[in-house]
Structure 1
Amino acid sequence: MVTRRRFLQGMAAVSVVGPLGSLTVLADGVHKGLTAPPASGGTAGDGVLRYVDVFVGSSGHGHTYPGATRPFGMVQLSPDTNNAEWDGSSGYHQGDGSIMGFSHTHLSGTGAADMLDFLVMPAMGAVRLQPGDRDYDGVNYVSRFDAKHKGGQKPEKAHRTHVKGYRSHYTGEQAHPGYYRVKLTDHDIFAELTATLRAGMHRYTFAKDGDAHLLLDLAHGYQDNIETPTRLSDVELTLVGNDTVVGGRRVYQWATGRVIYFAMKLSRPIVSATLYNDDKALPAGTTTIKGDQLKAALQFDKASSEPLLVKVGISGVDIDGAMRNLDNEIPAWDFDGVRASAEAEWEHELSRIRIESSSDKIKRTFYSSLYHTMLAPTVFSDFDGRYRGMDKAVHTLPEGRHNYSTYSLWDTYRAEHPLFTLYQSERVPDLVDGLVRLAVESPSGAPVWPLQGIETVCMIGYHCAPVIAEAQAKGFTGIDYAKAWPVLRRRALQDDYFGLPAFRAKGYIPSDKEGEAASKTLEYAYDAWAVAHMADALGHADDAALLRTQSQNYRNVFDKDTQFVRPRADDGSWLLPFDPINIGHSKRWRDFTESNAWQATFLNQHDVYNYMALFGGETAFEAKLDGLFNADPALPDNAPPDIAGMIGQYAFGNEPGHHMPYLYAYAGSHHKTQARVRMILESMYLPEPDGLPGNEDCGQMSAWYVISAMGLYAVDPVSTNYVFGSPLLDRAEVQVGGGRTLVIEAKDNGPGRAYIQSVSWNGQPWSKSWISHKELAAGGTLSFVMGDTPNEAFGKARADRPPSFGAVAG
């Protein structure tokens, strides 16, 4: 192989300056002031990595991607089969027939869509500039691929020796954490991908002779529909020497106006390059272009039998940052070394929870789920500590800290962040203080759904509040809670934000004045509860008392006559017509967010005992909860597809319902929680592409499985308590930080044995149906004895039920 240093010999330093950033490349290929550490790591083929199937959720409506990334990685290098319509949210769907190319940023499991930055497609023959029909039309640059894969394959079995004339032994799409491979059958090209934290690496092996090129498509991205191109501006692309391409763009999709940059290097010289603007070729010799729809076809020397290697670094700051990220994280042309390092890092992170189960299916489902919990939030800061903030300015982090993006807070506050406080405790200060930083920088205040320095204002509530309040209540340090307080207080008590003035003044949000008002009333009530905790901890007693009162505003949308949460008019009347399966009282209005009255009626997480009284007591509440699970599962025609995973009118496939099976514990019928949770664990998740009951939603759907399989769930994360469920695993060892280990074991467990007979904590009998974070985080052994018949006495006594609103059952 000809080395990159040889390509650059005799070249003068090249400076690139553009509206999106600048870069200086020295003649010897080294960037001033930086040193490049060697690649390291090894293959962990016999560890827990072999249980992960990265294709879980890539079919159905899971919206996951199978490509290469690192834990919480900034780069997600993955194939794009689809960049339009709802099931194209991650860029990949197994129902599609072709691959458009490989881009460097993807969202995991979201319902909204963006990203797919900097598409690279290797090809043979004539240059084609349009992707064509994703179902494959055989004309444009998309390629059919062999979509067969074996989930959970041991990593070492995918290693191959690259030799001239490779043929059919490279068939099959396969992947595992940190590595992806596929054969592009139209071109007979074997593509492999791996990644570091901020850079991706491609390896392309060409099986046949002929002209070969790389197409770099900077116009590619998520589209609202097939006909409407991605909205872009400030796109620029520059060739540097004969092996480097740099550029950037501003994207106006979901996170409207986000800016992203790249630096790409090839292991072989670029023999010739054609740059295109609006699909029109620019004159030969053009090395810099600016516009909105830019592409480049890079012809390279194919005389060598060695694979073509491509390295791409990205940055949210500037081109120079992308190049630094690339040179520091992938200094050499060692694909297998980067891959081995990725596998070793994933093995380390996945091994924070070691499990035992007689079922291989459970192991594969568990570790595939645990993998998905580490795909978001994502790092969004450069190797040198710089990042682009929510104020669009460039900031520099204190040494040793990271800035994060991709917080799907409406989803993840429920299970993923509580799970992080157990098995990612060292990362919690960075994740949560990052939210504080975003809150302070953001012109819009408290973060709701921040993505790459842009507030998308997606979903209702302001659920950064429970994430920050939970960390504070659990005693995490290294987080500036005092700095967060003014922002959260302003949102809770002052901001004119999507119905909050009415929430404060009237005690509810009128559904004839504000969309999704019933759900917003309930979500704001929980956020008020979270901010009240912070107020108490910071010594603001008056604010805390006011916020606790507001946290009970759920009362004002509960109709005692029908025993449902209902949309209410500005004049105080209940809006008609009312049907609990409908999502709105008329075609014009949607009263609930991705739910209906059945589901919204059980959204209360923090004040369950006072809420029960509205039904007439715990017996009536339990009967209503039974009704939720046993009702006719019919939904109206205009119900969004997010309402999925139906059990009666209970929609497990959407996040607002995730705590509801655990509510039986508050009514003293914990055995019903055990039965429902075990049924969901066993029936709603499979280690298969269509193995998720709904959108993955940045790890929340998987986090529910992980924490519930261990027998725990945080119904009210701010309370710091976990309610018991029905442990599916025989044993789990969780590294909870500081060298401490939490052991959770379930004796006499197995199919048909969902019921808790007794519990002990560190060898002592434990009669409660819940346990605190403080106890679990100290390490110890939580032991369940399971059986095939309910022990209805367990958790029945009022003193043994979970606390709610800071009190035990009355």
Structure 2
Amino acid sequence: MMTRRDLLGGVAATALVPLAGGVGTAFAGTGSKAGGGFCRHVDPFIGTGGHGHTYPGATVPFGMVQLSPDTNTAGWDACSGYHIQDRSLLGFSHTHLSGTGVGDMLDVLVVPRVGPVRLDPGTPESPDEGYRARFDHADEQATPGFYRVRLKDSGIEAELTATKRAGLHRYRFPDAAGAHLLIDFAHGFQDPAGSVTRITGASLRLVGKDTLVGGRHVHQWGQGRVIYFAMKLSRPFAGARFYSNDHAMPEGAQGVEGAALKCVLDLSDAHSSPLLVKVGLSAVDIDGALRNLDTEIPGWDFDGVRAAAAAAWEAELGRLAITKGGDAADIKIFYTALYHALLAPTLFSDVDGRYRAMDSTVRQLPAGANNYSTYSLWDTYRALHPLFTLAQPPSRVGDIVGGLVRMAEESPAGPPVWPLQGTETGCMIGWHSAVVVAEAAAKNIPGVDYKAAWPIFRKQAFQGQTSGLPEYRRLGYIPSDTVEEAVSKTLEYAYDDWAIARLGDAVGAADDAKALRQRSLNYRKLFDRDMTFMRPRFTDGSWAQPFDPRGMGHSRKWRDFTESNAWQATFLNQHDIYGYMEMFGGPAAFENKLDELFTTSSDLPDDAPPDIAGLVGQYAHGNEPSHHIAYLYAYTGAHHKTQARVRSLLKTMYRADPDGLAGNEDCGQMSAWYLMSALGLYAVDPVTPIYVFGSPLFDRVDVTVGEGRTLTIEAAGNAPDSPYIQSVTWQGKSYTRTWIRHADLVQGGRLVFTMGPKPNPRFGAAAEDRPSSFTATRV
């Protein structure tokens, strides 16, 4: 098990100056027939600046293909292949990660060019030395399912759109000699040391005069990914040349095998009419890629494919319909957040139901099922999956969660941690697939084999050898003199125990559930009651020295916390909040500690990772361990402080600009926090099926829940200076609790908040109105 810091080599990224204005503000939805309705509010350029790590290219909801420009492949802020500060691009590749802290993918780079063939990409500093092309952001446009750019030097105009498993390019070439497409099949993300993507086997092969197929075995973040493609041109190419390690193959060669492969397809009369290029992907084989391509894009109707992509986005975005309130910036942030929240997990099965399993075998899905990949579980269990269980069809949620169970059964590594295209990256800590599965069980999501999941997660809990787990079982905590990031691991293993206990309850394993529920209290072993902080502890039981709550650890050898410090880790408890409060001295003392978190100095030591960002005091909204903390006031009876903090975070941590996110998007989690909080709901403990109220941002939102039912959330008297809940009604009746059951919301109905400019301290103050916590029974 590793963290993103391991993969970054421990080097903090250089801070970037935000770009003035906003690229997407100028172009998103402008002049696009596909840009009406909800899509017109989406700006795919939000998050492409700062450290958001998003991409602006074309994809469909949960699509396997993400067809997007690559502007860089090296460094932390190239994780998605694109950054708004870049001024040249390499070409257009078909797979991208959205907002991750580690880079990979960027498969099948297509480079449209005129003039002499160049096989080296060149550098951002000297693009003329290679095949890079300059561009201006003024010549870019992006809307859901569509991307366009004009290449500055050649005058080539590129347009991109996509289906679930295929991408479609449209190129308009100038009247210039030497028009060609370069397919760089060695292209990929570089590791922190600058090494190029390691490929242990690849092949390219012509099929007739208009088709190129190939496959490769890639070792980057996902060790051993397998990807195949099939590419068809709308008219025959004039010739083809193959290269291995930039050495030309003999004239007339019909293919090439090796590792670093490239192909040049010469184009005659390229300027006479637009050239269309369609590319299908598969992790199974070339036949699968061809079948995906021919099934999803049988013809050459670019505008039709683009319109279908926009329609798919329109349908998904419309599941959360703002019908009243919010300024233009708020609405743009909201719908862009929803767009980002629907980019992952990504489809990872072919149209015929075949897929590549976690043990590298090819398997067949049952009819109607889908397989998925790209689960950033350490991040997304917190808000993204609760968003899905509320506002996605149960069949989709069952597919997504059922895929995790299938992976657990197939993977030699056991329960998924961070699965990527048939490989287990093992990135981050804990095994939070347990949380996602347990949440689905608690919310009665159909289509998931919970009984099949149980023995796999039980084995991990009671017999697993994951980093520090034997010590955790033996001592009740992980000692910081033997295991790196021991404090964070102890706390997250304890929460996973709680989640697995809830899964045990669901399948009738009462004795094991009881044992795990008791073991989930292990977090207490690292709490220093005198200092009221979580602290690193040694094997002999002594506290590690020196201790600085802003520090990363007790020594330079390794860190005691994962992308956090003691301030953030102290509030990581999500499941036993009332028991935890007593360790501080009761609710009032806990409330004071929360106040201190938000008001203390934001200073950090020099070795703090860049993930600790978006600071309010020592609260770090830019990274996920802090995301539930503002809602903890509700458990103290001071719910008005949750209301104030949540509204403030909604307005200060998100902007309608490229550098508009406080931290990495992390496959939808950063956006899902915004979406749930803007609705006025948040799942502090996702496996307890309730939502804690926050401060709804819009006057009215209609949410499609369950099987087409509507949940209407209204905020009467809402205004920028009125973040405070005065009262609540549910289904027309007075409602005094600060939380509500998932089971009630998914039946549909009307939830009305009456808002005001001053706190109502009485709302939620009574013990019986505070959220439930640490209960084995279904809420």
- Cα shift readout 1:674-707 (whole Å, capped 9, x = no counterpart): 0000000001101211000000000000000001
Report SS of the residue matched to 1:130: coil
Match of 2:119 in 1: 129
Structure-2 separation of matches of 1:173 and 1:437? 41
Which of 229, 236, 247 is residue 269 of structure 1 equivalent to? Answer: 236
Counterpart contact for 2:34–2:306, Cα < 8 Å? no
- Deviation readout 1:586-607 (Å, 9 max, x if unpaired): 0002100000000000000000
Determine helix, strand or coil for the equivalent of 1:264. Answer: strand
- Offset, 1:278: 0.7
Instruction: State the partner residue of 2:286.
Output: 319
- Specify the alignment match of 2:751 in structure 1: 782
Q: What residue number does 1:344 align with? A: 311
User: Does the CA contact (< 8 Å) of 2:714 and 2:752 recur in 1?
Assistant: yes
Q: Quote how far apart the aligned CAs of 1:95 are.
A: 1.0
- Alpha-carbon distance between aligned partners in 2 of 1:77 and 1:204, rounded to the nearest angstrom: 14
2:68 to 59, 64, 78: 78
Cα separation, 1, equivalents of 2:734 and 2:244? 72
Structure 2 equivalent of residue 712 of structure 1? 681
Q: 1:303–1:198: structure 2 CA closer, same or farther, 3 Å change rule?
A: closer
Higher alpha-carbon deviation: 532-541 or 579-588: 532-541
Which of the numbers 511, 516, 520 marks the counterpart of 2:485? 516
AA paired with 1:422?
L
* Match for residue 551 of structure 1 among 484, 498, 520: 520
Q: Equivalent pairs: percent with the same residue?
A: 62
* Pairwise CA distance, 1:750: 1.1
Q: What are the Cα deviations for residues 353-377 of structure 1, in whole angstroms up to 9, with x where unaligned?
A: 1012241111101000000000000
Which of 365, 370, 392 is the matching residue for 1:402? 370
1:417 aligned partner: 385
**What TM-score, normalized to structure 2?**
0.95
**Aligned residues between the structures:** 744
Q: Is 2:94–2:109's contact at 8 Å kept on the other side of the alignment?
A: yes
**Residues 435-514 of structure 1 correspond to what in structure 2 (within 5 A)?**
435-514=404-483
SS at match of 2:502: helix
Equivalence for 1:392:
360
Contact 1:98 1:136 in 2 (8 A): no
| Cα separation, 2, equivalents of 1:477 and 1:331 | 34
Contact 1:258 1:452 in 2 (8 A): yes
Distance, in Å, in 1 between the alignment partners of 2:181 and 2:636 is 62
- Of the three residues 101, 109, 112, the one matched with 1:119 is 109
Counterpart of 2:90 (choices 91, 94, 100) is 100
Counterpart mapping for 1:37-48 below 5 A: 44-48=34-38
| DSSP-derived class of the 1:251 partner | strand
Give 1:541 deviation, angstroms. Answer: 1.1
Q: Quote the offset at 1:137 in angstroms.
A: 3.2
Q: Alignment partner of 1:183: what SS? A: strand
CA distance in 1, matches of 2:264, 2:681: 53
Amino acid at match of 1:388: R
**What one-letter code is carried by the residue in structure 2 that aligns with 1:363?**
I
Q: Is the 8 A contact 2:505 2:776 kept in 1?
A: no
CA distance in 2, matches of 1:565, 1:443: 34
Matches within 5 A, 1:57-68: 57-68=47-58
| Amino acid paired to 2:130 | N
1:569 match: 538
| Correspondence 1:369 to 2:331 | no
Contact 1:721 1:771 in 2 (8 A): yes
Match of 1:305 in 2: 272
8 Å Cα contact 1:268-1:300 kept in structure 2: no
CA contact (8 A) 1:242 1:269 kept: yes
Match of 1:88 in 2: 78
Letter in 2 for 1:688: D
Q: Secondary structure at the match of 1:56?
A: coil
* 4+ runs deviating over 6 angstroms: none
Contact 2:173-2:271 within 8 A present in 1 as well: no
| Structure-1 separation of matches of 2:350 and 2:666 | 25
CA distance in 2, matches of 1:135, 1:468: 47
Whole-angstrom CA distance in 1 between matches of 2:669 and 2:325? 23
* 1:281 and 2:213 are equivalent in the alignment: no
Distance of 1:138 and 1:439 partners within structure 2: 48
The 2-side partners of 1:297 and 1:468 are apart by: 47
Distance across 1 between alignment mates of 2:125 and 2:642: 44
Determine the C-alpha separation between the residues in 1 that align with 2:36 and 2:66.
25
Alignment-derived partner of residue 586 in structure 1: 555
- Compute the displacement of 1:618 (Å): 0.8
Using the alignment, how far apart are the partners of 2:775 and 2:693 within structure 1?
18
**Could you list the runs of 5+ residues in structure 1 that have no partner in the other structure?**
1-41, 149-171
Partner Cα distance (1:539, 1:291) in 2? 53
Residue pair 1:189, 1:207 contacting (<8 A) in 2 also: yes
For 1:563, give the aligned amino acid: T
How large is the RMSD of aligned CA atoms in angstroms? 1.1
What secondary structure does 1:260 align onto? strand
Q: What letter matches 1:370 in structure 2?
A: L
- Please give the alpha-carbon distance, in whole angstroms, between the structure 2 residues aligned to 1:112 and 1:257: 16
Secondary structure of 1:722's aligned partner:
strand
Cα distance in 1, alignment partners of residues 627 and 561 from structure 2: 16
**1:621 pairs with 2:590:** yes
- 1:174 paired with 2:141, answer yes
TM-aligned CA deviation for residue 225 of structure 1: 4.4
CA drift of 1:135 comes to: 3.8
| CA deviations over 1:418-452 (Å, ceiling 9, x no partner) | 00011113310000000000000000100000000
Give 1:199-218 correspondences, 5 Å limit.
199-218=166-185
